[in-house]
Structure 1
């Protein structure tokens, strides 16, 4: 045992700390139990103080506490539902230099290889790029598939339902990570054909 004044060397200090932390008192309960016990002590203290306070002050303190708890819950739910940043590959048109014809070729290759999800996503991108090239759309960064469908309703009123469905499928496959079926990919490619005037 060291005698006062205690000026241990670094090695002695580590040994003393290690021995202290091996004391069973530190390992009787876990961190959660300690936290709950501390919280319980704080609540008891607050209730003891509140019981000695005038009723109006106690009521005001409880109201403020309730508002704070509700605000924290609201902030926690907002943080969880806040949109996350997407990578450039997950945007509507990740590369503005790719033409509608190139997107369509990619989509047709993917369809031929039975990669239906890629065919659907690239097919919808071909549709959007074609409308940008025709001047009917301004697909600025951050434009959503839903916004594209809304904008094109005026230009193609007879295809409004198809545009909404195509945008919904695009979102489900790209952002919802759902697998597209062959029929869904074919639907989007046919929609591109219809808007392009092929049929």
Structure 2
């Protein structure tokens, strides 16, 4: 009886309704290309059009300009991502690299960098001072390879009253050194305030 109700040849409206129901399944939305993939596909399509024009012997100034723009954009994107990766690796290696430097020496280096307007370096040095202070006071065990987030987590467990401040300092450091955010005097002063509270 149920099979008799299903049309073998659905009409246009029935077919459209069935297609809408099927395509409204969330699985189809998840399978679609994301914004980056769509942008890359668009660029590749434009590049393909230009190359097709070149292959046919039709070289127009617009085609040459478009090809040049695409190539420059690709080079800039590759350099940006490669530079970011190199910077991240270098900064990971250099966050806590000198065990012989005291917290006060890191603070002086931070103040000098801030005075010169080099706030990214000032933030790094002040965070180093904060970590060294925690190590000198026995709050943290000196350990090579500790990440900024691990500092905040471990020190926050030992000093629960400062856990939020330490997490905020780690986020600020991450934003500047790993996230590419602009280092500002305000970010630096926030870190100074956290370091001062740790010292007290």
TM-score (norm 1): 0.53
Task: Kindly report the root-mean-square deviation, in angstroms, between the aligned alpha carbons of the 2 structures.
Answer: 2.6
For 1:178, which of 176, 181, 186 is the aligned residue?
181
Match of 2:167 in 1: 164
Match of 1:124 in 2: 127
Residues 88-167 of structure 1: matches in 2 within 5 Å?
90-167=93-170
Match of 1:24 in 2: none
Match of 1:14 in 2: none
Which string of whole-angstrom CA distances, capped at 9 and with x for unpartnered residues, describes residues 86-125 of structure 1? 3377443111111111100011111122221111111111
Which string of whole-angstrom CA distances, capped at 9 and with x for unpartnered residues, describes residues 29-58 of structure 1? xxxxxxxxxxxxxxxxxxxxxxxxxxxxxx
Secondary structure of 1:119's aligned partner: helix
Q: Check 1:113–1:153 CA distance in 2 against 1; reply closer, same or farther (3 A cut).
A: same
Hey, which of these two has a bigger chunk of helix by percent?
2
Which string of whole-angstrom CA distances, capped at 9 and with x for unpartnered residues, describes residues 44-83 of structure 1? xxxxxxxxxxxxxxxxxxxxxxxxxxxxxxxxxxxxxx9x
Distance 1:119 1:90 in 2: 17
Secondary structure of 2:89's aligned partner: coil
Secondary structure of 1:153's aligned partner: helix
Q: Check 1:89–1:157 CA distance in 2 against 1; reply closer, same or farther (3 A cut).
A: closer
Aligned length: 117
Larger radius of gyration: 1
The answer for unaligned runs of 5 or more in structure 1 is 1-81
Distance 1:116 1:158 in 2: 27
Conserved? CA contact 1:110–1:119, under 8 Å = yes
Q: Check 1:139–1:92 CA distance in 2 against 1; reply closer, same or farther (3 A cut).
A: farther
